[in-house]
């Protein structure tokens, strides 16, 4: 694929894309969140992962801390990691006790085989339990670059089934994507989602600023494409594996590409698109990066207006 010339940054579009961003933390990032709290706008949505290396108390404590600090908790509920219906109800009840069930992210879960009764996130949505625990919006996963273990056809069918199931239960849906380093697949995937009549808000998974080796490590761990051309386009070179890389180019390029894709040129309106930052253990660095990027884009916009 010829390397597309990246469009000039469109500051207004970048500001539009980054406002109402969401963040992700793990159950081990409570101290980091407390340290970063003054750098994060009030009512920012903060996802709390449910990985194999935390326990129930940590996950509930993290969700409680998010709510207590004035942000909106979005706990992850990975279907395959729940051992029983009772376990799911216990988790949802504990989250409701700390006012953290309004927004959930319901995801399959990385285990190759389910550890309990739920094969996938649709099965969990179809239990009908979510409304009983006050759930108002469910985030579901999207894959602009596909998934290493799941066929693209299966992913499209799952996306359609989940959004339909949530609509039937009168629960709002939001699509949260796997992170990426290349904007072309993301813009094309957004077009494909809208062409299927799925209009749910999309939050594009974006790598927070982190060490290049760490970013590539997570890319490999989660099956995210990161070949030499793409990481160069993102802004770091495989030759130089030291130092940090931030998503400046990714955010500016995606915003500009989406702004260029006016309807009528064979594209669909992108609809509501925002950014979800995977902090990769760098919550404060990500919060700082967002503040500086937003200030710079705003300032450049004002200067531009001044010319
Ligand atoms: N932030 C996070 O925690 C994220 C996690 N993921 C991972 O992506 C995978 C799929 O999640 P969803 O899109 O919610 O799928 P899903 O639960 O909607 O399932 C879609 C289809 O893929 C199959 N499937 C689900 N998880 C699988 C797995 N681990 N291995 C093989 N097949 C699987 C299901 O049987 C179903 O047919 C999960 O492993 C999930 O943990 C994806 C994105 C973000
Ligand atoms: N397939 C898939 N599974 C996932 O679990 C997953 C994705 N994709 N996409 C992106 C997010 C990001 N995820 C993570 C998971 C762990 C850390 C992390 O910082 N782990 C550190 C510290 C230990 C901890 O906090 O758990 C580590 O070194 O593992 C970050 C992001 C989970 N997510």
- The band of 267, judged by pLDDT with boundaries at 50, 70 and 90, is confident
Looking at residue 181, what is its pLDDT? 95
User: If you measure from the C-alpha of residue 50 to the centroid of ligand 2, how many angstroms do you get, rounded to a whole number?
Assistant: 9
Instruction: Report the domain count for the chain.
Output: 1
User: If you measure from the C-alpha of residue 280 to the centroid of ligand 2, how many angstroms do you get, rounded to a whole number?
Assistant: 7
Cβ contacts of residue 264 below 8 Å, gap of 6+? none
- Residue 1, pLDDT above cutoff 60: no
DSSP state of 35: H
User: If you measure from the C-alpha of residue 85 to the centroid of ligand 1, how many angstroms do you get, rounded to a whole number?
Assistant: 19
The protein residue whose alpha carbon is closest to atom 11 in ligand 2 is 278
From the alpha carbon of 278, which atom of ligand 1 is closest?
1
- The band of 305, judged by pLDDT with boundaries at 50, 70 and 90, is low
247 lies in some domain: yes
Q: Is the CB of 246 under 6 A from ligand 1?
A: no
64 lies in some domain: yes
Strand partners, 72: 45
173 lies in some domain: yes
Paired tokens of 63: 């969700």
**244-245 and 210-211 beta bridge pairing:** antiparallel
Q: Is the CB of 107 under 6 A from ligand 1?
A: yes
Query: Which ligand number lies closest to the CA of residue 78?
Result: 1
Rounded-to-integer distance, Cα 271 and Cα 277, Å: 19
Name the maximum alpha-carbon separation found in the chain: 63
Q: Is the CB of 28 under 6 A from ligand 2?
A: yes
Q: Is the CB of 119 under 6 A from ligand 1?
A: yes
Query: Which ligand number lies closest to the CA of residue 58?
Result: 2
**Residue spans of beta strands (DSSP E) within 16-150:** 22-25, 45-48, 72-78, 103-107, 137-142
User: If you measure from the C-alpha of residue 30 to the centroid of ligand 2, how many angstroms do you get, rounded to a whole number?
Assistant: 15
Rounded-to-integer distance, Cα 135 and Cα 92, Å: 9
Domain harbouring 109, CATH code: 3.20.20.220
- Chain mean pLDDT for the chain: 93
Burial class (CB in 10 A: 0-12, 13-18, 19+), 103: buried
From the alpha carbon of 281, which atom of ligand 2 is closest?
19
Looking at residue 150, what is its pLDDT? 94
- The band of 306, judged by pLDDT with boundaries at 50, 70 and 90, is low
Return the best residue to mutate from 78, 222, 285 for the ligand 2 pocket (most ligand atoms within 8 A of CB): 222
Convert the pLDDT of each residue in 226-238 to its tens digit: 888 888 888 887 7
The protein residue whose alpha carbon is closest to atom 19 in ligand 1 is 120
1 lies in some domain: no
Convert the pLDDT of each residue in 81-96 to its tens digit: 999 999 999 999 999 9
Q: Is the CB of 156 under 6 A from ligand 2?
A: no
Q: Is the CB of 153 under 6 A from ligand 1?
A: no
Domain that holds residue 160: 11-306
Looking at residue 265, what is its pLDDT? 72
From the alpha carbon of 108, which atom of ligand 1 is closest?
17
From the alpha carbon of 78, which atom of ligand 2 is closest?
5
Convert the pLDDT of each residue in 6-65 to its tens digit: 788 899 999 999 999 999 999 999 999 999 999 999 999 999 999 988 899 999 999 999
266 lies in some domain: yes
Rounded-to-integer distance, Cα 107 and Cα 249, Å: 29
pTM: 0.94
Looking at residue 225, what is its pLDDT? 85
124 lies in some domain: yes
- Residue 175, pLDDT above cutoff 60: yes
The protein residue whose alpha carbon is closest to atom 10 in ligand 1 is 108
6 lies in some domain: no
From the alpha carbon of 78, which atom of ligand 1 is closest?
41
20 lies in some domain: yes
């Amino acid at each position: 694929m010829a390397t597309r010339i990246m469009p000039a940054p469109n500051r207004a579009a970048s500001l539009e894309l980054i406002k109402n961003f969401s963040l992700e933390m793990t159950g081990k990032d409570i101290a980091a969140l407390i340290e970063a709290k003054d750098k994060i706008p009030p009512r920012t949505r903060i996802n709390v992962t449910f990985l194999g290396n935390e326990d129930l108390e940590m996950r509930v404590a993290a969700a409680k801390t998010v709510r207590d600090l004035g942000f909106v908790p979005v706990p992850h509920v990975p279907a395959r990691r729940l051992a029983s219906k009772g376990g799911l109800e216990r988790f949802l009840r504990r989250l409701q006790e700390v006012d953290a069930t309004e927004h959930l992210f319901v995801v399959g879960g990385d285990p190759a085989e389910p550890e309990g009764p739920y094969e996938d996130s649709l099965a969990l949505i179809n239990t009908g339990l979510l409304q009983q625990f006050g759930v108002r919006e469910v985030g579901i996963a999207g894959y602009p670059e596909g998934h290493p273990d799941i066929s693209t056809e299966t992913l499209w069918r799952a996306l359609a089934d989940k959004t339909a199931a949530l609509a039937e239960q009168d629960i709002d849906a939001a699509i949260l994507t796997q992170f990426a380093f290349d904007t072309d697949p993301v813009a094309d995937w957004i077009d494909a989602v809208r062409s299927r009549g799925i209009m749910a808000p999309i939050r594009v998974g974006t790598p927070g600023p982190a060490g290049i080796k760490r970013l590539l490590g997570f890319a490999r761990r989660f099956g995210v494409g990161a070949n030499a051309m793409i990481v160069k386009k993102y802004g770091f070179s495989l030759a130089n594996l030291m130092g940090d890389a931030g998503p400046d180019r990714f955010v500016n390029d995606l915003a500009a590409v989406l702004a260029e894709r006016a309807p009528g040129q064979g594209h669909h309106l992108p609809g509501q698109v925002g950014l979800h930052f995977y902090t990769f253990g760098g919550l404060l660095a990500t919060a700082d990066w967002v503040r500086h990027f937003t200030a710079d884009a705003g300032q450049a916009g004002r200067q531009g207006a001044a010319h």
